[in-house]
Amino acid sequence: MICEFHNHEPSLYLEGHLYPRRLTEYECRIVEDLLKKNVKPKDILSALKNLNPKNVSTLKTIYNANEKLRRREREGKTQMQGVMEFLDQNGYVYYSRANVLTNKLEDLFFAHPRSLEIWRAFPHVLLMDATYNTNKYGMPLLEIVGVTPTNMIFSIAFVYMHEEKQSNYVWALDCLKLVMEGYAFSYLNKTWLTPHKEKFVSAWTDKFLNFGNHTTNRAESQHAKLKRYVETSRSDIAKSLKRIADVVES
């Protein structure tokens, strides 16, 4: 404004202004629901324009809505506070280790309650394999999966590791044993192994009962499914955790 007058002619179209690019309350709900389902921003924008051809929102509008949603979900909490709260509220079994000097998270083991229910029914085969490019910190993600009698794969537990080395695998196995000792190990030991162990000898084809599972191919196929949900290697742990929950619940 110069002397209460505009220094240019008024715009003929409003596409370049923030006001017409705003989302209606109904569109905000659509965007929020689609963001929670991990739909890509460009696809969300296309959906909005299909619903309303007069919509002049841009990708920046969707990105801003995503940032507002993330801020609202954090509610002033740090990322790790949000992660631990998510695990607590959803009934996960989890264990963590932090650096003794910096107090930063180094390893995080977590198992979804639904996964543990399925594992109780099918505890015989466990496959472990690590995958990469699931988070912006470069932390390998160890996935532990099981196999049902009908050869379906299901997730049992996940472990974020600060680096892939033998001691971290040992720690992950120790966590798994702690979970197992609550039901599966004691059940197998008391009900089957102690009274009937001699009847299982013929089933040990090499050293351990494996039902024909000799490779980690099944775990790697589960990695592919996981990455379809995570989609980007730039996610923080809080967002990746929610995508992992979607994989388990699927």
The model's confidence at residue 159, banded by pLDDT at 50, 70 and 90, is very high
- Over range 31-39, report the average pLDDT: 82
Q: Quick one: pLDDT at residue 189?
A: 65
Is residue 104 domain-shared with residue 165, that is, in the same domain? yes
Is residue 168 domain-shared with residue 210, that is, in the same domain? yes
Distance between CA atoms of residues 114 and 249, nearest Å: 8
Place of tokens 């299901």: 154
Is residue 45 domain-shared with residue 99, that is, in the same domain? no
Distance between CA atoms of residues 29 and 70, nearest Å: 14
Q: Quick one: pLDDT at residue 94?
A: 93
Is residue 174 domain-shared with residue 58, that is, in the same domain? no
Higher-pLDDT residue of 77 and 166 is 166
Is residue 179 domain-shared with residue 123, that is, in the same domain? yes
Distance between CA atoms of residues 16 and 89, nearest Å: 43
Give the other-Cβ count within 10 Å of 230's Cβ.
23
% of the chain exceeding 70 in pLDDT = 82
Total domain count for the chain? 2
The mean-pLDDT minimum among 14-18, 56-60, 170-174 falls in 14-18
| Cα end-to-end distance, the chain, whole Å | 57
Is residue 63 domain-shared with residue 101, that is, in the same domain? no
Q: Quick one: pLDDT at residue 103?
A: 84
Is residue 131 domain-shared with residue 222, that is, in the same domain? yes
Q: Quick one: pLDDT at residue 137?
A: 84
Q: Quick one: pLDDT at residue 123?
A: 85
Alpha helices of the chain — where are they, by DSSP H? Answer: 18-21, 25-36, 41-51, 59-74, 79-89, 113-121, 166-180, 184-187, 194-196, 217-230, 237-249
pLDDT tens-digit profile of 182-206?
A: 675 566 667 766 777 666 544 545 5
**Residue 231 within a domain:** yes
Judged against a pLDDT cut of 90, whether residue 210 lies above it is answered with no
Q: Which of 36, 51, 74 is the last residue of a domain?
A: 74
The model's confidence at residue 224, banded by pLDDT at 50, 70 and 90, is confident
SS3 category, 158: strand
Is residue 127 domain-shared with residue 60, that is, in the same domain? no
Q: Quick one: pLDDT at residue 211?
A: 73
Edge-to-edge strand ranges of the sheet holding 141-147: 93-98, 105-111, 153-161, 141-147, 126-131
**Residue 8 within a domain:** no
Handedness of CA 56, 59, 64, 69 (dihedral sign): positive
Is residue 109 domain-shared with residue 191, that is, in the same domain? yes
Q: Quick one: pLDDT at residue 109?
A: 95
pTM: 0.64
Domain extent at residue 48: 18-74
Q: Buried (b) or exposed (e) across 40-58, using 16+ Cβ within 10 A? A: ebeebbebbeeeeeebebe
**Residue 9 within a domain:** no
Higher-pLDDT residue of 65 and 201 is 65
**Residue 44 within a domain:** yes
Q: Quick one: pLDDT at residue 92?
A: 92
Average pLDDT, the chain: 80
- Over range 59-69, report the average pLDDT: 83
Q: Quick one: pLDDT at residue 110?
A: 94
